Structure 1
Amino acid sequence: MEKIQHSHVEVRGLKLHVAQIGSGDKVVVFLHGFPEIWYTWRHQLIAVANAGYRAIAFDFRGYGLSDQPPEPEKANFNDLVDDVVGLLDSLGINKSGIKPMVSCHHQEWNAIWVNIDTTDHTYQLAFLIGKDFGAFPAYMVAAVHPERVSGVLTLGVPFMLPGPSAVQNHLLPQGFYVTRWQEPGRAEADFGRFDAKAVVRIIYTLFSGSEVPVAAEDQEIMDLFDPSTPLPPWFSEEDLSVYASLYEKSGFRFALQVPYRTLNVDGGITELIVKAPTLLIMGEKDYVRKFPGTEDYIRSGAMKHVVPDLEIIFMPEGTHFVQEQLPDQVNEFIITFLGKHSA
């Protein structure tokens, strides 16, 4: 861990906290979920660097040691997409040139693609590895900027886009945690009863289970936690303290906006196909598999309509935090995938 270098990199007017280790032209960028942070990739950063890659993890805007945007409530997933590309540029993981036409359309970015230069411009590519909501920008960057991406690997969340069909709240009880956290002020009041360390402890413990967290009508999500329940055996008090220190700095304001309050907001992307080689790792005990339609979507092959070069690995004992729970196995899967698709 002491070999991991930390810095702040300016991206689109904000300073983003970046942790990296390793060097060379083969680059892997890790994208965290919630309540995670760069530290969630501590095991993978070292393993990937030891395998000969430049491994990079950063705190999304509004998270941990990264700057807060001036108007968090106006943020959405497109901001994270732009931040990933901006970070690649700021770290020199590119070559100058005009991007070629790609097989998708974005309402906000459409102007970039007019009068396309057909000159052959090359880019240094990166692998994107996303966990939980970090899977969204991983897939979106790969589709919108395919010339920047060598491959995509996601954990715990299959391909989906922000929009009305991302998570079908109406098919789950009213106390579904996403529905509760999307309601302005409700999660703030729920979380506000505890310090940051307690919030992370509760969420990590609850969300390590195989059941979707759903509160009763007279409960909040934090009330589902039994104080006598220990931390998962793979998550130490020291780990908890690191997370707590980072969320004490950032708070949860932006985290509630992205992903939760923009999860069902259409990002304006249509006709999207991820052509890059892709690996999805799912824990068999991950509660996400119980979201309506998710299991069938993963196992039926429907995902291959939008991610044709797809491989799926199921881990029998894996939970939602499989990269921390079973790091050696996950690292092996990652390094094998990277080796298979590195130039």
Structure 2
Amino acid sequence: MENIQHRNINVNGINMHVAEIGEGPVVLFVHGFPELWYTWRHQMLFIASKGYRAIAPDLRGFGDTEAPPSPTSYTAFHIVGDLVCLLDSLGLDKVYLVGHDWGAIISWYLCLFRPDRIKALVNLSVVYNPRNPSVKPVDYMRHVYGDDFYICRFQEIGWEEEFAKVDTKKLLASFYFKRIPNPPLLSKDFAKMFNPPPYTIPSWYTQEDLDYCASKYRSTGFKGPFNYYRCFDLNWELCAAWTGSKIMVPVKFVVGDIDATYNFPTIKEYINRGGFKESVPYLEEVVVMEGVGHFINQEKPIEINNHIYDFITKF
């Protein structure tokens, strides 16, 4: 870990923290929520050892990257713009791309908007959901899951203060170590109701890992990350011109079978009955890992390292 270099780069009007290691063809890693560049530590060290240059930024609003105050500064255009500007600042034309959770969503958008910058994509946990012109995403989620669904809750301005009322370390542990594939539900009185049992750190994580992530979230809060969720409907409006567009880069998709995202209604059918392949014509492989949860790249680092390496060496 001490060999990972850190620097700040001005991109798209914000100051972005970037971690990197290695020399060679570039693999860009895009993290999710509630994560940081740190989620990719295992992959970065492995990929660098194989002759690649691993780059993992903190996305805007996360960790040591600047957090613009306006919720509307977190659209797909802003986040993809940050990443394209990062590539430009580093003099990089095309890169391999790896995403997880929100990072997977952003990676789909990056491939949709700028396929010319991507050699191949390995995406984890979140499938590509093509734009449905007949219904806004949050309306659909509220209809299916109700007001307590976490994405619906995060629409409420001030919800970050609710998270701030509880212990950050226990809060992150309740996300990271969850082994139940049900959709996350948050009551209106979240802080009052938040009383998780004492957590046990699993073998694939350490106290040092938890301390690092908690220190960053304790320092920055959750407003920036929540603004990604608050842009779901705005992204839907802004991306009307891409209705019906497909992902036209080579893709490998990996998910755990007890990941809540894999167990959302219709997702398995979408994957197994050809809808996913139709939307992503160059989808070469779907891997469903048994007994694996949402934070797949940390829970099964060796397997994910190999999945990434085996795929990108084809291109």
**TM-score exceeds 0.5:** yes
How far off is 1:39 after superposition?
0.2
Q: 2: distance between equivalents of 1:191 and 1:73?
A: 21
Partner of 2:154: 181
Aligned length, in residue pairs? 306
How far off is 1:5 after superposition?
0.5
Q: 2: distance between equivalents of 1:225 and 1:127?
A: 41
Partner of 2:67: 68
Q: 2: distance between equivalents of 1:307 and 1:222?
A: 43
Partner of 1:86: 85
Partner of 1:210: 181
How far off is 1:173 after superposition?
3.3
Residue 47 in structure 1 maps to residue 46 in structure 2: yes
How far off is 1:190 after superposition?
2.3
1:71–1:152 Cα change, 3 Å: same
1:304–1:66 Cα change, 3 Å: same
8 A Cα contact 1:61 1:67, kept in partner: yes
Letter in 2 for 1:92: G
8 A Cα contact 1:29 1:55, kept in partner: yes
Q: State the structure with more CA Rg.
A: 1
Q: Secondary structure at the match of 2:79?
A: helix
1:222–1:48 Cα change, 3 Å: farther
Residue deviations 1:193-233 (CA, integer Å, cap 9, x gap): 12433332232234x432222245x6528836523232333
Partner of 1:321: 295
8 A Cα contact 2:76 2:109, kept in partner: no
Q: 1: distance between equivalents of 2:69 and 2:163?
A: 22
After alignment, is 262-271 or 321-330 more displaced? 262-271
Residue deviations 1:161-220 (CA, integer Å, cap 9, x gap): 5772486331113322221222222x22421212433332232234x432222245x652
Partner of 2:308: 334
Q: 2: distance between equivalents of 1:151 and 1:221?
A: 42
Q: Quick one: percent identity of the two aligned structures?
A: 35
Q: 1: distance between equivalents of 2:189 and 2:12?
A: 40
Residue 302 in structure 1 maps to residue 275 in structure 2: yes
After alignment, is 279-288 or 292-301 more displaced? 292-301
Residue 293 in structure 1 maps to residue 266 in structure 2: yes
Letter in 2 for 1:158: V
Letter in 2 for 1:39: Y
1:136–1:221 Cα change, 3 Å: farther
Letter in 2 for 1:307: V
8 A Cα contact 1:177 1:221, kept in partner: no
1:333–1:229 Cα change, 3 Å: same
8 A Cα contact 2:131 2:244, kept in partner: no
Partner of 1:119: none
**Any unmatched runs of 5+ in structure 2?**
none
**Any unmatched runs of 5+ in structure 1?**
95-124
Partner of 2:98: 129
1:242–1:230 Cα change, 3 Å: same
Given the alignment, which residue of 242, 264, 276 partners 2:249?
276
How far off is 1:87 after superposition?
0.5
How far off is 1:76 after superposition?
1.4
8 A Cα contact 2:29 2:99, kept in partner: yes
Partner of 2:213: 243
1:148–1:222 Cα change, 3 Å: farther
| TM-score calculated relative to the size of structure 1 | 0.83
8 A Cα contact 1:64 1:250, kept in partner: yes
Letter in 2 for 1:231: I
8 A Cα contact 1:281 1:313, kept in partner: yes
Q: Secondary structure at the match of 2:233?
A: coil
After alignment, is 30-39 or 288-297 more displaced? 288-297
Partner of 1:197: 169
Letter in 2 for 1:55: A
1:129–1:222 Cα change, 3 Å: farther
After alignment, is 49-58 or 229-238 more displaced? 229-238
| TM-score calculated relative to the size of structure 2 | 0.90
Residue 226 in structure 1 maps to residue 199 in structure 2: no
How far off is 1:16 after superposition?
0.4
Q: 2: distance between equivalents of 1:161 and 1:135?
A: 14
Q: 1: distance between equivalents of 2:193 and 2:286?
A: 35
1:151–1:62 Cα change, 3 Å: same
Q: 1: distance between equivalents of 2:130 and 2:86?
A: 22
Residue deviations 1:65-118 (CA, integer Å, cap 9, x gap): 011225344431211111110110011103xxxxxxxxxxxxxxxxxxxxxxxx
